[in-house]
Chains A and B, each alone.
Chain A
Amino acid sequence: MVYLPHTDEERRQMLEAIGVESLEALFADIPPAYRYPELGLPEPLSEAEILQELTELSQANLNASLVPTFLGAGAYRHWSPSVIDYLISRGEFATAYTPYQPEVSQGTLQAIFEYQSMICDLTGMEVANASHYDGATATAEAVIQAINVFRLKRKKIVLSPTLHPQYREVVRTYTQGMGLDIVGDDDPQRSLEALIALVDADTACVIVQSPNFLGEIEPLAGLADRIHAQDPRTLLAVVTNPLSLGLFTPPGDYGADIVLGEGQPLGLGLNFGGPYLGFYATREKYLRQLAGRLVGETVDVDGKRGFTLTLSTREQHIRREKATSNICTNQGLMALAATIYLAALGKQGLRKIAELNYHKAHYAAQQINVLEGYEVLTTKPFFNEFMVACPASVEEINDFLLDDYDIEIIGGYDLGRNFPGWENRMLIAVTEMNSREEIDDFIEALEEFAAIHQAGGGDHHD
């Protein structure tokens, strides 16, 4: 029996103590017709066997961390200092539950308190919660916070068209029963000016992303004022890349009401898309509309500093249908990983990593821009991602990079997947993990593709 400590004799004694004959007797209340179905699962394996199988399975994939990779679009290959996995692997952190008993959960609680503090520092905001599932769901929670601020009386939400397409989709999934009017993101070319013009007295919030999905840094200076000129109470939520905040002025300093985003760049692995981390910060005046867990500092009966979950009257286990959100389990261990990342790099290290991303991405952009057939379309300042017009479809180029070039390269994101007509536009991410050699290889490969394409050798697949 796997993971069960019972001996036959103990089982017998236990059944006797309960006063039943057999294990089956414990399930006498289940109608017999439904009892003990055949499941048809595969034969069980031992630890050695399953690891062998899984190792083979894992090797059937192309590990994006072992080849030059220029794919981002919401998930990025970054360096994760060794201390992170060492510390989050500790059973005391990993196998603890939500810290409902604070006296024996101070480790988790203090770490979340530090996380909340660091997220505030990074974003320039006043309060941060203990996490959401990811950047997409954090965006949906921002919409819900905003409509709660207006006690459900405002129904209009303005979304920037350069907000991550998956985040826009999740906002619509979450709010489909709320009767909201979600506007602004139907035209990918809509300017920030035109977006602001949509704001009116029924608008609960405007959500913009910076760096946006196309990598550009939006002009956040004065944005809050311009929105408030349309309606003084509309909230501004900014979705951002936390690593970019090692370098750039945080949205909080520009007057954002909510700052949130995907925390994966903070030392979390790619992991094929999850688990990641939704970070979320807002203004103190919105504390009562904030969703999710919060850790607060207090003292114990001896006057000693301690930490505890607090303000839980906002949450589902107390308020049930009147709660600010249904969230319960969040991303605790991922928040811990991000905390350790920010501590291990610290003030100077985070700035350096952010600069590395900036310089390497700009180096790559400059090199690509001079290639025949390619043009960098990003005109605003950018962080570590930019858009390039290519001589052929991105699909064709990426197939070439992966299958037909001397080495395997994972190219950038095919924007045609989300924007009809943009099939030739590639979104390229360059991080501190891309060495100059990788970048130069990529550029050579792009050049070679263009040459073959120009020569009419369009079909690279036989």
Chain B
Amino acid sequence: MTEPLIYELSAPGREGVKPPKLDVPPSELPTELLRESLPLPEVSEIDVVRHYLRLSQLNFAIDKGMYPLGSCTMKYNPKVNEVAARLPGFTGLHPLQDETTVQGALYLMYELQEYLKAISGFAGVTLQPAAGAQGELTGVLIMRNYHLDRGDTKRHIILVPDSAHGTNPASTNMSGLRVVQLPSDARGNVDINALKEQICEEVVGLMITNPNTLGLYEENLVEVIELVHSCGGLVYGDGANLNALMGVMRPGDVGIDVLHFNLHKTFSTPHGGGGPGSGPVGVAPHLVDFLPGPIVILDEEMSSDDYPYFSLSTPPKSIGRVKSFWGHFGMLVRTYTYIRMLGDKGIRDAAEHAVLNANYLLSQIKGLFPLPYDRICKHEFVIEGHLKEAPDIHALDIAKRLIDYGVHPPTNYFPLIVPEALMIEPTETESKQSLDNYAAILRQIAAEAVEQPELLHDAPHDSPVRRLDEVQAARNPVLRYQRDEA
């Protein structure tokens, strides 16, 4: 059964929740400025609850089952985080309140900046960016301004490996810089020779994801960083895959200059069906002055021995503000809670078990599908979703058939450098049973692909809707409720 649109539940004159009452004398409304109609739905409170609850039930979610989307780190989202973020002393705070009245919130932000510095090995952190892509834009602008500040105006190139997330080149372009793509070598690393050819004094920097989107540790990392630094360039780390390495290796220690964190991946804040995320950025000492402002500082002058005092302060050469106010505070509370519950050991445990789970799952399905890079992987791995014995079967068919078995498909058709890519990231919070189950399903599907390929072609069978006509959706876009249909 299809769930109607909220508009289709509407009846003229029906009222929803009851607004507060008017307790002051009304003023005259400026009639010439008033709108004539407001075509919103008219539904009751119970209509709203039932409608959105029924909609929720059409979703798959981490809370329902294994959701191994590569590059997305769909780990368990602890419920204590939600309780913490909803404490009234946090939710009720206005961002422009006097600093003296928000010291608890500023303390939390300051400490979180310190924790992220400790985990990454950087000298400074901004919590402002709203998501990973905004963190990238922030980082690229920081690199650009670093060079300009030194009077080095000829640099305009950002090197991006072909395995990178699409946000890397897009963020570069928004910064007014030019992307030069680097190929990967046969082991899935950045091709060092290709990199050497591009090294010149026009390079602003290189954006690198480590482990890369193939789930592989960048074996040439130290050499890559040295090469880029040798021409005066800087190295940007895409922290989307930090879950593989936190507590095991710090990006700042190996010479990465700037990196964004994805709190909604590595640090367990929920994805919310597409957001909100949070993308703090960490930088090495020479870039601290360029961070977007404001950041939280310990105000020595206002502090006493017993009471530290925290202020918001904009670094001297700041690239400027990247969003309003101070960042996604609600996500920061969740992350603070998570880090405080894990500590040093818990952070390392998380990374080690993320890598254990990925390698274990890989060991259980090895030989089923082509494996383009056969190495110890990190937190995720990429297989090719096709079979010699079943030439009509594509990665998409395998993905859709997984839905029939009550689990979520992996990321498909990314990274772009692997044909029919299926990118699997189990995360550390899945149990051995859960991984064994996923492996068994993949084995079953591999057998079906040969014996009953139509089962895959027609999949999914039991989902709320079946395969959708995406061509029609794009060719004849219907992007809002059509009143004339009603």
Contacts and interface: CB of A to CB of B under 8 A. Distances in A.
Given A44-B342, A333-B276, A343 B97 contact: no
A104 B464 contact: yes
A386 to B, nearest CB: 12
Contact of A327 (B41, B133, B349, B463): B133
Given A328-B132, A329-B275, 18 more contacts: A4-B429, A26-B356, A36-B247, A50-B337, A60-B103, A96-B61, A120-B480, A126-B480, A166-B321, A176-B175, A177-B175, A178-B176, A326-B134, A343-B48, A347-B41, A359-B26, A360-B24, A366-B27
A343 B51 contact: yes
A103 B467 contact: yes
Interface string B84-128: 101111111111111001111101100000010011010000000
B254 A34 contact: yes
B90 to A, nearest CB: 5
Contact of A326 (B83, B136, B273, B347): B136
Contacts of B52: 83, 87, 111, 336, 340, 343
Interface string B463-479: 11111111011100111
Contacts of A432: 19-20
B321 A169 contact: yes
B341 A50 contact: yes
A93 to B, nearest CB: 5
A366 B296 CA distance: 39
B90 A58 contact: yes
Contacts of B36: 249
Q: Which 10 A-B residue pairs are closest in the complex by CB-CB distance?
A: A177-B176, A58-B89, A273-B325, A333-B272, A91-B63, A273-B95, A332-B274, A60-B104, A44-B343, A65-B92
Contacts of B480: 113, 116-117, 120, 126-128
B3 interface: yes
Interface in B431-456: 431-432, 434
18 contacts: A3-B76, A57-B108, A106-B58, A107-B59, A110-B5, A113-B479, A137-B130, A170-B322, A217-B30, A248-B35, A271-B330, A272-B90, A298-B478, A300-B468, A326-B174, A334-B276, A350-B38, A410-B97
Given A97-B273, A334-B276, A106 B131 contact: no
Given A102-B468, A273-B325, A111 B133 contact: no
Contact of A61 (B49, B51, B89, B247): B89
- B95, B344, B356: residue with the most chain A Cβ atoms closer than 10 Å: B95
Contacts of B367: none
Contact of B72 (A34, A97, A127, A363): A97
Contacts of B268: 3
B17 A81 contact: yes
A274 interface: yes
B479 A116 contact: yes
- A13, A107, A134, A432: residue with the most chain B Cβ atoms closer than 10 Å: A107
Contacts of B222: 31
Interface stretch (A68-76, A154-162, A228-236, A369-377): A68-76
Nearest to A137: B323
Contacts of A79: 19-20
B457 to A, nearest CB: 10
A358 B349 contact: no
A183 to B, nearest CB: 17
B92 A270 contact: yes
B247 A39 contact: yes
Contacts of A313: 474
A431 to B, nearest CB: 10
Interface in B51-75: 51-53, 55-64, 67, 69, 72, 74-75
Interface stretch (B165-173, B297-305, B387-395): B165-173
Interface stretch (B226-234, B280-288, B358-366): B358-366
B409 interface: yes
Interface stretch (A184-192, A194-202, A302-310, A446-454): A302-310
A10 B101 CA distance: 50
A420 interface: no
Contacts of A301: 458, 466-467, 469
Contacts of B469: 298-301
A9 B229 CA distance: 46
A135 interface: yes
Contacts of B166: 315-320, 323, 328
B337 A6 contact: no
A3 B481 contact: no
A345 B17 contact: yes
B468 A101 contact: no
A43 B174 contact: no
B408 A101 contact: yes
A270 B94 contact: yes
B274 A121 contact: no
B471 to A, nearest CB: 9
A390 interface: no
Interface residues of B, number: 197
A245 interface: yes
Given A18-B359, A166-B325, A87 B49 contact: yes
Contacts of B473: 296-298, 308, 310
Given A273-B325, A322-B173, A344-B45, A329 B276 contact: yes
A116 B482 CA distance: 12
Nearest to B46: A83
Nearest to B178: A321
A442 interface: no
Given A26-B376, A51-B80, A133-B134, A93 B59 contact: yes
A340 to B, nearest CB: 6
B486 to A, nearest CB: 12
B243 to A, nearest CB: 12
A131 interface: yes
A274 B330 contact: yes
Contacts of B193: none
Interface string A137-171: 10000001000000000000000000010110110
Contacts of A26: 352, 355-356, 359, 376
B480 to A, nearest CB: 4
Nearest to B111: A42
Contacts of B340: 42, 44-45, 50, 53
A121 B39 contact: yes
Nearest to B23: A436
B258 to A, nearest CB: 16
B348 interface: yes
Nearest to A277: B276
B316 interface: no
B34 interface: yes
Contact of A4 (B84, B165, B319, B428): B428
A117 B481 contact: yes
Interface string A344-367: 111111111101101110110010
Contacts of B119: 39, 41
A311 B477 contact: yes
Nearest to A281: B480
A73 B320 CA distance: 19
A301 B467 CA distance: 6
Interface in A21-69: 23, 26-31, 34-47, 50-51, 53-66, 69
Nearest to B272: A333
B324 A136 contact: yes
- A306, A327, A329: residue with the most chain B Cβ atoms closer than 10 Å: A329
Given A79-B20, A87-B53, A332-B272, A94 B77 contact: yes
Contacts of A274: 95, 130, 276, 323-331
B368 interface: no
B1 to A, nearest CB: 9
Nearest to A360: B24
